[in-house]
A and B are shown apart, each in its own frame.
Chain A
Amino acid sequence: MEAIFFYGFATVAVVTALLMVLMKNPVVSAIYLIVTFFCLAAFYVMLDAQLLAAFQVVVYAGAIMVLFLFVIMLLNLNRTSFTSYKLFFTKVVALLVLGAILLVFFGAVSDGVLDIGQGSDQEILATLEVTEESTHIEKLGMTLFTRYIYPFEIMAVMLLAAVIGGVLLTKKRA
């Protein structure tokens, strides 16, 4: 029974991937890639990764491909104009934002020195356990926010840097 689903989705994924590479019209290629992403989300469900399947649909098919389609259709961009800003004010705000980010980062990886609540991180961690009956989102959350908290915080800063970089790269010279 599982073989029917696997071979069906595998055929659709491979065929649409081939069509994506071969089509001349980039809009059609983008649509075929969206279909491929949905097939991959079905594979994630078959592999007991339901939360990742939801992420696949929301992030890849819902955000990344929408961004692709925006750029494909808006390639003749009209010029955008940003109002002038005061440079010194910008630097102060940037320093404050960096300080806030560092505060959150050190608060996440500290061993309870900055906490004002009850109990240190070690005591709170003792109550969390990844058992057999945990749902997928519980397993993912417990591992992500304890053992992999460093990459998680760095990922947030990286996303911010990417957004700022994207805006700066397309900014018209004043």
Chain B
Amino acid sequence: MMLEIGLYHYLALSAILFLIGTAGVLLRRNAIVIFMSVELMLNSVNLTFVAFARYMNAVEGQIFVFFVMAVAAAEVAVGLAIIIALYRNKGSVNIDEANSMRG
């Protein structure tokens, strides 16, 4: 079973990458590295979609990956603009210092 690559191999790899991305989001304090971890999570989901599209012979999985890529590109543009605005107001991208709304 280890030598013949099936659907479960790709799903396991995608789950591992998703876990690494989630760990990055939860454990890092730099806003840009958190954002890059979110991009890693999106890519692991893309891999899941393409794997299912291949093993279920449906092209719709790849269509959805196309849209996920476009949404991720737009999200990066706006998210980096927000990080830049945050840097201008606070002087750093450390999320521990962005606590103005703490009661």
Contacts and interface: CB of A to CB of B under 8 A. Distances in A.
A163 to B, nearest CB: 6
Given A21-B33, A68-B35, 13 more contacts: A3-B3, A6-B5, A21-B23, A44-B50, A71-B32, A75-B84, A140-B63, A143-B59, A151-B67, A162-B78, A166-B81, A169-B85, A170-B85
Given A21-B24, A71-B84, A29 B77 contact: no
A92 to B, nearest CB: 26
B92 to A, nearest CB: 9
Nearest to B79: A166
What DSSP secondary structure best describes chain B's contact surface? helix
Given A3-B2, A165-B81, A21 B76 contact: no
A3 B5 contact: yes
Contact of A166 (B17, B66, B77): B77
Interface in B24-61: 24, 27-28, 30, 32-33, 35-37, 39-40, 43, 46-47, 50-51, 53-54, 59-60
B59 A20 contact: no
Question: Which of B5, B16, B33 lies at the interface centre, i.e. has the most chain A CB atoms within 10 A of its CB?
Answer: B33
A160 to B, nearest CB: 9
A106 interface: no
30 contacts: A6-B5, A20-B33, A21-B28, A26-B32, A30-B36, A33-B36, A33-B39, A43-B10, A43-B13, A46-B5, A52-B62, A59-B69, A60-B69, A64-B76, A67-B76, A67-B77, A68-B35, A72-B32, A75-B84, A75-B93, A139-B59, A140-B62, A144-B63, A155-B67, A159-B74, A162-B75, A166-B78, A166-B81, A167-B81, A170-B85
Q: Interface size class for chain A?
A: 35 or more
A110 B5 CA distance: 44
